[in-house]
Amino acid sequence: MVRIAVFASGSGSNYEAIMQYFTKLTSPKAEIALLVCDQPGAGVLERAAKWHTPVLVVERRRFASKKQFEQYILAQLQQYQIDFIALAGYMRLLGPTLLDHYLGRVINLHPSLLPAFPGIDAVGQALKAGVRVTGVTVHFVDYGMDTGPIIVQKPVAVELDDTHNTLSSKIHVVEHELYPKIVYACALGRIYLDGTKVCWQNPDEAVKE
């Protein structure tokens, strides 16, 4: 079994979608072995309890430096024998301490069509720019902010009467449909990084169970 850690800071709706997807696999070759959360009160922790996922709650402010913070997380990931990391609303940049060990084995989900609208509040940025199409990006994580090689993107139409809430909801629907199967395919190495190039072992089969 490939062992995956999900990193989340918020309500955990993408973690939930991942759990539902993995639960339905008939002969899974990967599992969610750990949830890493940097916010003690985050909603994702209730969900993790419900799904019986082991949890690592780790606050940045408990550590003198980002390096020490990540060294602690890294030690725990190694303890849990984590092979692969799926960021799911984790509101921190991964630094070199973690990334040097997991480069090519960390993916992220971002609520825009990158390279448009990186960083925080991508939905608000899109609305402010007045775009009529935005979307969802899954990408390998590199040392930049939402800059890594793109794996897959899906468009979401922005209607004239969309608000931050309605557009966010539509984006969430696409995320929940898309991310779990990409997490699974990447964890299994069906989609992998060769340098900065995203490679698909078999594009037609990669996201099938």
Question: With binding defined as CB under 8 A, does residue 116 bind a copy of itself?
Answer: yes
Q: Which residues pair with 136 in a beta bridge?
A: 154
Show which residues are catalytic.
Answer: 110
Residue 103 CB burial class (10 angstroms; 0-12, 13-18, ≥19): middle
The string over 9-18, giving b where at least 16 C-beta atoms fall within 10 Å of a residue's C-beta and e elsewhere, is bbebbbbbbb
Q: Which of 74, 154, 192, 207 is in the footprint of a copy of itself by CB under 8 A?
A: 154
Q: Which of 48, 56, 77, 113 is in the footprint of a copy of itself by CB under 8 A?
A: 113
Question: With binding defined as CB under 8 A, does residue 8 bind a copy of itself?
Answer: no
- Shortest distance (Å) from residue 16 CB to a copy of itself: 25
158 membership: H or E segment, kind and range:
none
Question: With binding defined as CB under 8 A, does residue 160 bind a copy of itself?
Answer: yes
Site for a copy of itself in 79-108 (CB under 8 A): none
Residue at token pair 């984006």: 171
Question: With binding defined as CB under 8 A, does residue 58 bind a copy of itself?
Answer: no
Q: Which residues pair with 193 in a beta bridge?
A: 198
Which range touches a copy of itself (CB under 8 A), out of 9-17, 43-51, 101-109, 111-119? 111-119
Question: With binding defined as CB under 8 A, does residue 198 bind a copy of itself?
Answer: yes
Which range touches a copy of itself (CB under 8 A), out of 53-61, 80-88, 99-107, 133-141? 133-141
One-letter amino acid for residue 77 of the chain:
L
Question: With binding defined as CB under 8 A, does residue 48 bind a copy of itself?
Answer: no
CB 153 within 8 A of CB 165: no
Question: With binding defined as CB under 8 A, does residue 144 bind a copy of itself?
Answer: no
Alpha helices in the chain (DSSP H): 13-24, 43-51, 66-79, 96-102, 122-129, 164-187
Contact residues: a copy of itself, CB under 8 A: 113-116, 129-133, 135, 137, 149-155, 160, 198, 200, 203
